């Protein structure tokens, strides 16, 4: 790998300036006590697991964020991880330390990202590259899939810090990219004479990131630019291919402006990577919810995905499940409700009004047979039924109550939706005759006030049809709109 390493790393002036800015920033998270202490102990082979657990739990909210991330769609654990000790046992001390470092790194950027613009776009790219790498690695069956999330974070850290410390450089590159109809990544390389991944390599050296990530990033770079194919035979080739694909897709999602442009970019991904169309579609369909969860964890709920990407997902055809005419009809009806909800949020209409329209979108736009509104009681101990729409449930909404504190709720979708602030479509249905189903939180992580539960009346195995990818995306859109409505109006 010596030759490859030399071909992408140089002594560019911008890298020197970037490292100097990093070293002079005393507030940068890598100098935070928790990260430095974790790294010190993880390098000691005699460190007991209890010590790592103690450090993580000693940092406010870090333990909660780690558990949410480990149990989220980034890792897809078969059994939920309930404690930090379990997380250490299943991921290992070093992997968990890397995970904590990534969380602290991104959270540092929240105040600047809130201003929007080029830096917010780079934060989005970083988040997308992380979640896409983990998902693509899983699709490609790579044994290092659980390190994919952090590999994506480190792959994009150079351009992210460049946008943070020297935004004018990225802004200039972005304008050049628009004039030349190319990605910002290509433009940065041409403008600076150094590849963005080289900036990332310089940064991970400064942060003393484990060598594993350096090797994977170098291998991914050669796939990314379609250069030396020795990268494909690399020890970590599966993860490198996943990382390269994630970089391409993240660039496409943020740098394109229309659905046709995005479609062309996705066609290029299929041509340049080992992914097939089914794998790519499967990963893209989980991006909105994954992105939403990640933004919750790092307190950047103000970040949103490009509208043309969400539209692209909504209108994809799925002939195996529905005819094109049915899809178009459903999309038009659902879009009507989405537009109405967006207008209501902009006009700061009451939360109850928005919830009612979302219930209508579920029943009439997404064709769920039944929808029930559940609100948490004042103590947050249980979910209480308030109202329903559609065909009657087996119990009246006002008579329904679900404890949030009872044990054995790991497969309860409405409990998970409330506790984790996530859309849930798997687990045990609320009612025996309801499948498929969905539970949507009203609000985000740590600010959920209730849940909307929707299902279809089970017609038996011969007529059973799971929720389509389009419906999964639509559910995430509704969850985001509910969260926005709650932020504008608060709890009524």
| CB-count burial class (<10 Å; 0-12, 13-18, 19+) for 42 | buried
Q: Does 100 map to a domain?
A: no
Identify whether 85 is part of a domain. no
Last residue of a domain, one of 276, 310, 344: 310
- Structure confidence by residue, pLDDT tens digits, 264-310: 889 989 988 889 998 998 899 888 888 877 787 777 878 888 888 88
182 burial (CB, 10 Å; 0-12 / 13-18 / 19+) is: middle
pLDDT in tens, 391-401: 888 888 888 88
- Please tell me whether residues 128 and 241 are part of one structural domain: yes
Q: Tell me, what's the pLDDT at 4?
A: 36
Contact assessment for residue 161 and residue 18, using Cβ atoms and an 8 Å cutoff: yes
> Looking at the domain assignment, is residue 351 inside a domain?
yes
> How does pLDDT run across 425-474, given as a tens digit for each residue?
877 888 888 888 999 999 875 678 899 999 998 765 444 456 776 787 78
Rounded Cα distance between 180 and 433, Å, is: 56
Same-domain check for residues 299 and 158? yes
Task: State whether 207 and 142 are in the same domain.
Answer: yes
The pLDDT of residue 6: 35
Residues 338 and 303 reside in one and the same domain: no
Question: Is there a single domain that holds both residue 131 and residue 194?
Answer: yes
Question: Per this entry, what is the length of the chain?
Answer: 492
Residues 227 and 262 in one domain: yes
d(C-alpha 115, C-alpha 109), whole Å:
11
Same domain, 302 and 352: no
Which of 444, 398, 471 shows the shortest CA–CA distance to 300?
444
**Nearest-5° Cα angle at 240, 245 to 190:** 65
Any domain includes 57: no
Residue 274 lies in a domain: yes
Residue 184 located in a structural domain = yes
- Whether 246 and 125 share a structural domain: yes
Same structural domain, 334 and 262: no
Summarize pLDDT for 139-180 with one digit per residue, the tens: 888 776 667 887 888 888 888 888 888 888 888 887 887 787
In a domain, 419, yes or no: yes
Question: Does 342 share its domain with 483?
Answer: yes
The CATH number of whichever domain residue 228 belongs to comes to 1.10.3210
> Of residues 30 and 217, which shows the higher confidence score?
217
Tell me which of 255, 286, 310 is where a domain ends: 310
- Can you tell me the distance from the alpha carbon of 269 to that of 267, in angstroms, rounded to the nearest whole number? 5
Tokens found for residue 73? 């769609």
**Same-domain check for residues 279 and 333:** no
Number of domains in the chain: 2
Residue 98 lies inside a defined structural domain of this protein: no
> What's the domain range around 467?
320-489
Average pLDDT over residues 247-273: 89
Span 74-94, pLDDT tens digits:
565 556 677 888 877 777 777
352, two tokens: 């109850």
356 and 394 assigned to the same domain = yes
Q: Identify the domain boundary among 277, 292, 310.
A: 310
What CATH number has the domain bearing residue 467? 3.30.450.40
Q: Can you say whether the dihedral through the CA atoms of 477, 478, 481, 483 is positive or negative?
A: negative
């Amino acid at each position: 790998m010596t030759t490859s390493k030399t071909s992408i790393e140089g002594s560019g002036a911008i890298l020197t300036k970037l490292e100097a800015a990093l070293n002079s920033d005393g507030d940068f998270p890598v100098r935070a006590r928790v990260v430095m202490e974790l790294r010190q102990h993880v390098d000691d082979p005699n460190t007991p697991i209890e010590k790592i657990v103690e450090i993580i739990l000693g940092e406010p909210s870090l333990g909660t964020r780690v558990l949410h991330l480990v149990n989220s769609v980034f890792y897809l654990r078969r059994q939920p991880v309930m404690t930090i000790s379990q997380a250490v046992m299943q991921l290992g001390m070093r992997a968990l330390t890397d995970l904590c470092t990534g969380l602290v790194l991104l959270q540092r950027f929240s105040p600047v990202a809130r201003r929007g613009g080029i830096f917010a776009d780079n934060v989005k790219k970083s988040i997308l590259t992380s979640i896409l790498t983990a998902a693509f690695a899983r699709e490609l069956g790579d044994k290092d899939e659980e390190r994919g999330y952090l590999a994506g974070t480190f792959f994009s850290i150079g351009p992210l810090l460049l946008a943070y410390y020297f935004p004018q450089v990225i802004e200039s590159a972005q304008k050049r990219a628009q004039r030349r109809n190319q990605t910002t990544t290509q433009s940065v390389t041409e403008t600076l004479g150094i590849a963005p991944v080289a900036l990332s390599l310089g940064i991970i050296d400064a942060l003393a990131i484990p060598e594993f990530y350096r090797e994977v990033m170098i291998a991914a770079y050669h796939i990314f630019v379609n250069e030396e194919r020795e990268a494909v035979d690399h020890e970590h080739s599966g993860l490198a291919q996943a990382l390269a694909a994630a970089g391409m897709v993240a660039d496409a999602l943020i740098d394109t402006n229309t659905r046709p442009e995005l479609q062309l970019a996705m066609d290029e991904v299929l041509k340049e990577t080992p992914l097939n169309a089914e794998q790519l579609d499967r990963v893209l369909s989980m991006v909105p919810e994954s992105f939403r969860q990640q933004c919750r964890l790092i307190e950047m709920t103000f970040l949103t995905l490009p509208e043309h990407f969400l539209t692209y997902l909504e209108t994809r055809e799925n002939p195996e499940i529905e005819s094109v005419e049915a899809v178009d009809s459903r999309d038009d009806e659902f879009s009507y409700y989405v537009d109405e909800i967006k207008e209501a949020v902009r006009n700061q209409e009451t939360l109850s009004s928005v919830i009612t329209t979302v219930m209508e979108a579920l029943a009439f736009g997404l064709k769920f047979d039944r929808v029930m509104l559940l609100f948490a009681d004042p103590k947050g101990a249980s979910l209480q039924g308030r109202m329903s729409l559609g065909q009657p449930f087996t119990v009246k909404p006002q008579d329904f109550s679900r404890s949030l504190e009872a044990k054995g709720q790991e497969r309860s979708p409405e409990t998970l939706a409330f506790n984790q602030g996530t859309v849930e479509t798997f687990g045990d249905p609320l009612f025996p005759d309801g499948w498929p189903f969905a539970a949507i939180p009203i609000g985000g992580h740590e600010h959920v006030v209730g849940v909307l539960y929707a299902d279809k009346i089970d017609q038996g195995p011969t007529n059973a049809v799971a929720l389509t990818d389009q419906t999964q995306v639509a559910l995430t859109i509704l969850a985001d709109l509910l969260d926005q409505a709650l932020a504008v109006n608060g709890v009524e």
